[in-house]
Amino acid sequence: MSKPVLVLASRNQGKLRELRELLRGQVPGLDVDTQVVDAATAGAGDPVEDQVTFQGNALKKAREISASTGLVALADDSGLSVDVLGGAPGIFSARWSGVHGNDEANIDLLLGQLGDIAAEHRGAQFVCAAALATPQGEEHVELGKVQGVLRTERSGEHGFGYDPIFEPAGAGKTMAEHTAEEKNAISHRARAFAALLPAIIDAVGKALAK
């Protein structure tokens, strides 16, 4: 079995599949199914997200996991930015209600906060920062964004987080009403990693050449 050269700073298998498909056929000699791995497979820990920006959190995770594994590392941090809330929940999106990962409570709180806000002022965006770090100290960060508006009620059964109340601009349906394939084609994460792709290809190519 080929040794890993690229580690994704996540244990999320959906994210790993997305990354493998993004890289499939892009780097000569790279076997994405064995050489692109998740943090658990690489024996990496869970860096603390204690920075104050998406970019800061993503870069910290990539930097620490690259240092601990000796591999090229990728990480991301993402969330929802609401215009009338000055960009909040932002980096606190996953724990807006006070409990990390409680999607229903987070949505309930946000809908309550926006209860008297008219439709034309419910603009928001999903934001993702994707970062790359290498053992040699090379670092890159890119942002991906999806503009949209927030509904007043949930709609759709797919996705996670704020997807049931976020309607991408021009879509006519919430992110939770998109299929996984449709969402992956327009998501903030897909856009961030696509922007980072040239740096990923270059770093992985160098690692394979060693």
Per-residue pLDDT of the chain (210 residues; tens, 9 = 90+): 589 999 999 888 878 888 888 899 999 999 999 999 999 999 998 898 899 999 999 999 999 999 999 999 999 999 999 999 999 999 999 999 998 889 999 999 999 999 999 999 999 999 999 999 999 999 999 999 999 999 999 999 998 899 999 999 999 999 999 998 898 889 999 899 999 999 999 999 999 988
Tell me what pLDDT residue 1 has. Answer: 55
Tell me what pLDDT residue 180 has. Answer: 84
- Determine if residue 189 is labeled as part of a ligand binding site: yes
Give the catalytic positions in this structure.
77
- Determine if residue 162 is labeled as part of a ligand binding site: yes
Tell me what pLDDT residue 159 has. Answer: 85
Range 115-122, long-range pairs (CB < 8 A, 24+ positions): 117/84, 119/149, 121/83, 121/84, 122/82, 122/83, 122/84, 122/149, 122/150, 122/151
Q: Which residue type sits at 77?
A: D
- Determine if residue 10 is labeled as part of a ligand binding site: yes
Instruction: Give the residue extent of every domain in the chain.
Output: 6-209
Question: Closest Cα partner for 20 from 9, 10, 5, 35?
Answer: 35
> Among 3.90.950.10, 3.30.70.920, 2.40.50.140, 1.20.1250.20, what is the CATH number of 6-209?
3.90.950.10
- Determine if residue 61 is labeled as part of a ligand binding site: no
- Determine if residue 188 is labeled as part of a ligand binding site: yes
Tell me what pLDDT residue 108 has. Answer: 97
Q: In the chain, where does DSSP find H-type helix? A: 13-23, 32-35, 54-69, 103-113, 180-186, 188-209
Tell me what pLDDT residue 13 has. Answer: 85
